[in-house]
Amino acid sequence: MSILPDHVLNTILGEVLGRPQSYLDLGRLCDQVGGRIAGTDAGRQAEEWGLAALRRYGLTGIWEESLDLDVWERGDLSLAVPGAGGWQLIAVAHANGPLAVDLEAAVVDVGHGRATDFASRAADLTGAIALCDETVPPGERNPHRSERLAAAVAHGAGALLILSSASGGLARTGVCHPRLAPIASLGIAREDGLRLRRLLAGGSTPRLKLNMRNRQSKGRGRNILAEIPGRDPDAGWVLAGAHLDSWDLAQGATDNGLGVAIVLEMARALALLPPESRPRAGLRFALWTAEETGLLGSTAYVAGHEAELPRHRAVMNFDMTGDPYGYWLPGQDGPSGMLTRLAEQLAPLGMGASVDLKPGLHSDHQPFMLAGVPIVSLLGRLSSDGARYYHSLGDTFEKVDLPALCRAAAVGAATLWALADEIEPSFAHLSAAAVDAMVDRAGLREALAAL
Ligand SMILES: [Zn+2]
């Protein structure tokens, strides 16, 4: 038995696979606005771009919710091994790094940068510059860069360098601290990090000279929201969101223009359904501000909509979403019968029976998940280019894969419609105690404390 009625499926497939529009609009965002930290001029231009796209796509119930932000922007940075045999490293500051740092210190290798790695070098870390990977051995939980920074601070280090897992000079940025960090934290090129490690392994004690300036100012960011009413005003909503802000080093194409284009394409197709073909519950769409700088936009929405949060049946988050092949249902016991049958119906688009129930953090689903709202997101295969250039200068438009974007939007729109049309929602909200238990079971307590 198919979940989606033919006329709904026909509209979604015809529009999203047959005449997609958001991919071209994403190209304009990437090339004409580019990197867009929330609260900056580029951030405002991106918000205008999002509003204009929603209007052009036929959405009528559009509104915005703004929030005050501390806006961090990078200034000059120099990281070098001084003197004979020295060289200038490729490095980028992690956001919310200190506004001024002038430091010269020895490098200490802390391997994978897990808590145990820092502890094993505790005697050498005071005042030193700690160097670590951004990855851990397969199967282990990878600490967020904010956790690595917290460990470096706890051991009295003067600065932290995280070496990129991608070769080719691809130093990565990202937020490292909820407010201005007490010490500098930088992403460095893999080649530079490996050279430092070889020198250390060979018995030399390389010293690094770091000079860094950054700026902080006050700004405002806006969550852009739109709603298509359902057939039953008492049935609540399902929400699909993606963060519109990005890092400044490139164009925010895969992270997360891709997710934004998917959500906009879903909204465009679903807005074309005649009123009698709309689902029971309403459909909400959100372009979040300030995800990269600490999930600030989605967190503000959850706080500001606390009273109606129970009426959110489910939230779908699209962040670097690749070619879809299954569902991510963090903290749930398993897929519902409806989702299983829907995945069967969407098999021609690549959907299969894969389901991942493991909770994770660090995107806009997080504040909803912690408030007990069911999360239904897509598992997707991101192209190797998309993953490689994460948070680096290579995150540009040509890395976005059009067929994968269209399939994700088609599967996303079908899933959103199906979740909204259920008489009894597939998933119940979790109580605060159940959320606590989920966080503990998944070992996420430490990660939550760091940001
Ligand atoms: Zn992202």
Q: Minimal CA–CA distance to 410: which of 55, 19, 54?
A: 19
**What's the pLDDT at 211?**
98
pTM of the model: 0.96
Q: Minimal CA–CA distance to 292: which of 317, 314, 258, 319?
A: 319
Give me the long-range contacts of 169-173 (CB less than 8 A, separation at least 24): 169/90, 170/388, 170/389, 170/392, 170/393, 170/394, 171/90, 171/91, 171/92, 171/392, 172/92, 172/134, 172/390, 172/391, 172/392, 173/92, 173/93, 173/94, 173/95, 173/247, 173/248, 173/249, 173/391, 173/392
Query: 273 near 10, Cβ under 8 Å?
Result: no
Q: Minimal CA–CA distance to 323: which of 266, 401, 419?
A: 401
Residues 185 and 334 in one domain: no
CA of 319 to the centre of ligand 1 (A): 5
Residues 42 and 120 in one domain: no
**What's the pLDDT at 1?**
64
**What's the pLDDT at 107?**
98
Residues 312 and 429 in one domain: yes
CA of 46 to the centre of ligand 1 (A): 15
CA separation for the pair 47, 132 (Å, rounded): 36
Residue 443 lies in a domain: yes
**What's the pLDDT at 192?**
98
CA of 245 to the centre of ligand 1 (A): 8
Amino acid at site 200 = L
Give me the domain span that covers residue 309: 6-70+218-450
Encoding tokens for residue 421?
Answer: 């049309």
CA of 28 to the centre of ligand 1 (A): 19
Residue 43 lies in a domain: yes
CA of 244 to the centre of ligand 1 (A): 9
Residues 293 and 339 in one domain: yes
Residues 253 and 402 in one domain: yes
Last residue of a domain, one of 188, 217, 246: 217
CA separation for the pair 95, 154 (Å, rounded): 19
Q: What are the E-state strand segments in 289-426?
A: 312-317, 323-328, 354-356, 377-381
Q: What are phi and psi of 286, to 5 degrees?
A: -135, 130
Q: Minimal CA–CA distance to 151: which of 120, 180, 179?
A: 120
CA of 277 to the centre of ligand 1 (A): 33
**What's the pLDDT at 76?**
98
CA of 235 to the centre of ligand 1 (A): 30
Residues 230 and 348 in one domain: yes
Q: What are the E-state strand segments in 89-206?
A: 91-93, 100-109, 129-133, 159-163, 184-188
CA of 363 to the centre of ligand 1 (A): 7
Residues 65 and 134 in one domain: no
Query: 389 near 170, Cβ under 8 Å?
Result: yes
CA of 21 to the centre of ligand 1 (A): 22
Residue 187 lies in a domain: yes
Q: Minimal CA–CA distance to 17: which of 365, 276, 214, 266?
A: 266
CA of 65 to the centre of ligand 1 (A): 20
All residues at 6 or more sequence positions from 239 whose CB lies less than 8 Å from its CB, including other chains = 284, 285, 286, 312, 314, 315, 316
**What's the pLDDT at 446?**
85
Residues 213 and 232 in one domain: no
| Eight-class DSSP state of 143 | P
Per-residue tens of pLDDT for the chain, all 451 residues? 689 999 999 999 999 999 999 999 999 999 999 999 999 999 999 999 999 999 999 999 999 999 999 999 999 999 999 999 999 999 999 999 999 999 999 999 999 999 999 999 999 999 999 999 999 999 999 999 999 999 999 999 999 999 999 999 999 999 999 999 999 999 999 999 999 999 999 999 999 999 999 999 999 999 999 999 999 999 999 999 999 999 999 999 999 999 999 999 999 999 999 999 999 999 999 999 999 999 999 999 999 999 999 999 999 999 999 999 999 999 999 999 999 999 999 999 999 999 999 999 999 999 999 999 999 999 999 998 888 999 999 999 999 999 999 999 999 999 999 999 999 999 999 999 999 999 999 999 988 887 7
Residues 189 and 241 in one domain: no
